[in-house]
Amino acid sequence: MTIAGKTILVTGANRGIGRALVEEALGRGAARVYAGTRRPLTHPDERVVPLTLDVTDAGQIRDAVTAAESVDVLVNNAGLSVYDDLSDRAALERLLEVNLYGTHGVTSAFVPALTRSRGAVVNILSITAWAPIPVIPAYSISKAAAFSLSQSLRALLAGAGVRVHAVMTGPVDTDMSRALDIPKASPESVAHAIFDGVEKGDDEIFPDPVSDAMAESWRGGAAKALERQYAGLVQPG
Ligand SMILES: NC(=O)c1ccc[n+]([C@@H]2O[C@H](COP(=O)([O-])OP(=O)(O)OC[C@H]3O[C@@H](n4cnc5c(N)ncnc54)[C@H](OP(=O)(O)O)[C@@H]3O)[C@@H](O)[C@H]2O)c1
Long-range CB contacts (< 8 A, 24+ apart) of 22-30? 22/48, 23/188, 23/191, 24/188, 24/191, 24/192, 24/194, 24/195, 25/195, 28/2, 28/3, 28/4, 28/195, 29/3, 29/4, 29/5, 30/3, 30/4, 30/5, 30/6
pLDDT at residue number 235: 78
Q: Give the Cα separation of 231 and 228 in Å (integer).
A: 5
Separation of 85 CA from ligand 1 center, angstroms?
A: 20
User: Would you state the pLDDT for residue 217?
Assistant: 97
Protein residue closest via CA to atom 7 of ligand 1: 126
Q: What is the model's pLDDT at position 188?
A: 98
Q: Provide the phi-psi class of 12: left if phi over 0, else alpha when psi is between -120 and 50, else beta.
A: left
pLDDT of residue 237: 61
Strand partners, 125: 168
Ligand 1 centre to CA of 230 (Å) is 31
| Mean pLDDT score of the chain | 97
The C-alpha atoms of residue 147 and residue 204 are separated, in whole angstroms, by: 10
pLDDT digits (tens, 9 = 90+) for 113-171: 999 999 999 999 999 999 999 999 999 999 999 999 999 999 999 999 999 999 999 99
Ligand 1 binding pocket, CB closer than 6 Å? 11-12, 14-18, 38-39, 54-56, 77-81, 98, 102, 124, 126, 169, 171-172, 174-177
User: What CATH superfamily is the domain 7-231?
Assistant: NAD(P)-binding Rossmann-like Domain (3.40.50.720)
CA 162–ligand 1 middle distance (angstroms): 24
**Which protein residue's CA is at the shortest distance from atom 37 of ligand 1?**
12
Instruction: Note the pLDDT tens digit of each residue in 101-111.
Output: 999 999 999 99
- Euclidean distance between CA atoms 100 and 80, whole angstroms: 10
pTM across the whole model: 0.98
Residue ranges in the chain modelled with pLDDT below 50:
none
Task: Compute how many other C-beta atoms are within 10 angstroms of the C-beta atom of residue 134.
Answer: 8
